Structure 1
Amino acid sequence: MDDNRSLAMVGFDADDTLWRSQDYFDAAQLEFERIVGAYVDLADSRAQQRLYEVETRNIAVFGYGVKGMVLSMIEAAVELTAERISAADLHRIVGLGKELLRHPVELLPGIREAVEAVARDFEVVLITKGDLFHQEAKVRDCGFADLFRRIEIVSEKDTATYARLLAEFELPADRFLMVGNSLRSDIAPVLALGGWGIHVPYHTTWAHEAQAELDVDPPRLRTVVRAADLPGAVAELAALATHNRG
């Protein structure tokens, strides 16, 4: 880590990289569709697509996370049912959000050991986005927050955000590697700045996070499917980073 030619820092995403998250959102969406399905034909109404459209246009207003999703569900439900949805069913939608916020943190298999292994050789930071209160609670409850040099909860993860963080870390982009499940938020912005990335696909991903423009085979990107393979992939890219700088 003292060699200024080498990789110096590894960033980790949180939701669906360290612990489960999207599964709970998917379950909430299914329940939302069951609620709305009592009023409209789900196929004809394109309920899933219209909810996504409402969520997307509301990101700039509500940001990411459970609260924004629930407010968008309420708005979409009112629109889809032409204002016929009952107060009781709107209350059920609010309850979906409360359940999401109360879910315990469930670490993904082997991830703690993987982060510990990486942290033995590199400084590690946690970079996540979403509702501040909810993310702080999950970080607090995950059980290994002390491994991270810094914990950053941001409103968006784009090139501007990563550039700001790297400036605060006093680190050039080519000495930084980001690990995460989202191509849009974790990988593409870091690669665009000249950094490195390890994509860890999750079995379910919100459509918004799957949209990213990448080269067909970016040389500074690796993909792993098991947490146990993360330390090896980090070491491989670190060696390549040193070679490129040397």
Structure 2
Amino acid sequence: MLTPVRRRLRDVYIGVTDRGWFGLTPLDAHIVVCGYPRSGTTLLQAMLETAVSDALAFGRERGGLGVARYTWPGRHRVLLSKKPNDIFWVDDIRDYYRERRTRVRFVLSLRDPRAVLTSIHVDKPGYCVPADKWRSVYEHIEYQRHNADVTLVEYRDLVERPQQVQAQLASFTGCDIGQRFDDFHAAVPKHFDTRALNGVRPLDRSSLDKWRAPKHRERIQQILAELPELPERLVELGYEADTAWMREYQ
């Protein structure tokens, strides 16, 4: 937490930096990756950190508002942060930059809810995401998704069409994204926290439908009980054409 004096000094410093005075580099963009937990946010972060030119990144989860408030600019044109829960702080981060020259861009990560809700983190026992958390994130994404400073990245697209996603993000952010996304695994920095990836490896399509494995059957039945609206949501979001898939779990 900054003292009032340090906060005032920082405000002056940011004003000087935004003007590019004294050889300082203005911060052009802050890219905020957020969305559903276990939806590929860490994978996307790794791709961006290896590919975006002249970016300050952290190699681990950092909240966008804290990064915006307490990181001193002046040496990089781009700031990268990733925290799934920042979906709940989009309005606050946007407000912070409202009077700044920096453009803030929110990249919201999406994934089949059944995959999100059956995902397991290597460092955490059991399933990661409770049903009520999924519902809350869904509501906030629906609230934000149509804003001009928001773009959506579907996990399946990231795995199957990484170069298409790379072009999408380059256009959306206005940043130079050079390193190929599908080669990210060969360039991940040593300090990057890879635990949420359960290991660094080339993109693997087999991860897309792991929720169908028999070991998740009981979990899917539990999800259907806790999220009775899920079948409707799956059709609405384009993951299913109808509710026929449910028969296997009844």
Q: State the TM-score, normalizing by the size of structure 2.
A: 0.34
Structure having the higher helix fraction is 1
Structure ranking higher on relative contact order (CA contacts 8 Å, 6+ apart): 1
